[in-house]
């Protein structure tokens, strides 16, 4: 009897995990779409900050990057945060300049970035500065470009500054929290969080590609 109950619990575990991941992905999709509108009542700076803070896909990328960076040399932390700050700042301006041109599939790009930081974080992959800084720059540019649609009627300079400070803050606090989890169980928790980010990213990527193909 006890063995039967134990077997049932083991089979329920993966099912519950898949259900939770799917539920989180289902919440991220509409929330990401809602986040790409500006907040006119709080001013340009705070609108830029709250825009990034209310974008779950961008937050997931930044947290995934923080987790992966926490497995590396601590001396890389400041460079990764600085690269993200500059990239978001530039990304808003790039997206603003391309407003009349072709648009990227923002959800697919952010989902791909979530996978790109989640998988190596889950594997506790230790690399040099180049891959981390490259992903920080690429992710920051995408986050900034994704925010450009919300700059209508606002100061682009203040909006981009608010978004870049918000990105650097999320990444900094994420790194501080992850660095505190240096014990054995803390490493397991970080890897589990990174794997969840990667799993949700895969689901979002499949959804965005299929939806984009359906519209085409």
**H-assigned helices in 100-183:** 106-122, 129-147, 156-179
Q: What is the pLDDT of residue 148?
A: 82
CA distance 63 to 72: 15
Q: What is the pLDDT of residue 21?
A: 43
pLDDT, the chain, mean: 81
Per-residue pLDDT of 39-67, as tens digits, reads 556 788 999 999 999 899 999 999 999 99
Cα(first)–Cα(last) distance of the chain, in Å? 55
Q: What is the pLDDT of residue 95?
A: 84
CB count, 10 Å around CB of 163?
A: 33
Residue 13 in this model has a pLDDT that exceeds 70: no
Of how many residues is the chain composed? 216
Q: What is the pLDDT of residue 143?
A: 92
**pTM recorded for the entire structure:** 0.79
Q: What is the pLDDT of residue 71?
A: 93
Q: What is the pLDDT of residue 70?
A: 94
Q: What is the pLDDT of residue 23?
A: 47
Q: What is the pLDDT of residue 5?
A: 40
CB count, 10 Å around CB of 92?
A: 28
Q: Among 51-60, 61-70, 148-157, 197-206, which is the least confidently predicted range?
A: 148-157
């Amino acid at each position: 009897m006890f063995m039967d109950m134990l077997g049932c619990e083991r089979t329920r575990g993966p099912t519950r995990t898949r259900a939770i991941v799917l539920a989180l992905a289902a919440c991220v999709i509409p929330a990401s779409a809602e986040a790409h509108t500006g907040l006119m009542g709080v001013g340009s700076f705070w609108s830029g900050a709250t825009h990034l803070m209310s974008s779950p896909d961008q937050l997931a990328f930044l947290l995934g990057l923080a987790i992966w960076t926490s497995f590396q040399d601590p001396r890389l932390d400041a460079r990764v945060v600085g690269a993200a700050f500059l990239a978001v700042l530039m990304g808003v301006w790039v997206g603003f300049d391309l407003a009349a041109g072709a648009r990227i599939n923002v959800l697919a790009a952010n989902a791909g970035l979530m996978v790109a930081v989640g998988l190596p974080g889950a594997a506790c992959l230790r690399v040099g500065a180049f891959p981390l800084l490259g992903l920080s720059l690429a992710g920051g540019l995408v986050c900034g470009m994704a925010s450009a649609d919300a700059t209508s009627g606002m100061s682009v300079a203040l909006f981009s500054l608010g978004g870049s400070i918000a990105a650097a803050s999320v990444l900094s606090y994420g790194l501080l929290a992850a660095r505190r989890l240096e014990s054995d169980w803390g490493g397991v928790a970080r890897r589990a969080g990174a794997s969840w980010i990667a799993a949700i990213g895969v689901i979002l990527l499949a959804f965005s590609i299929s939806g984009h193909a359906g519209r085409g």
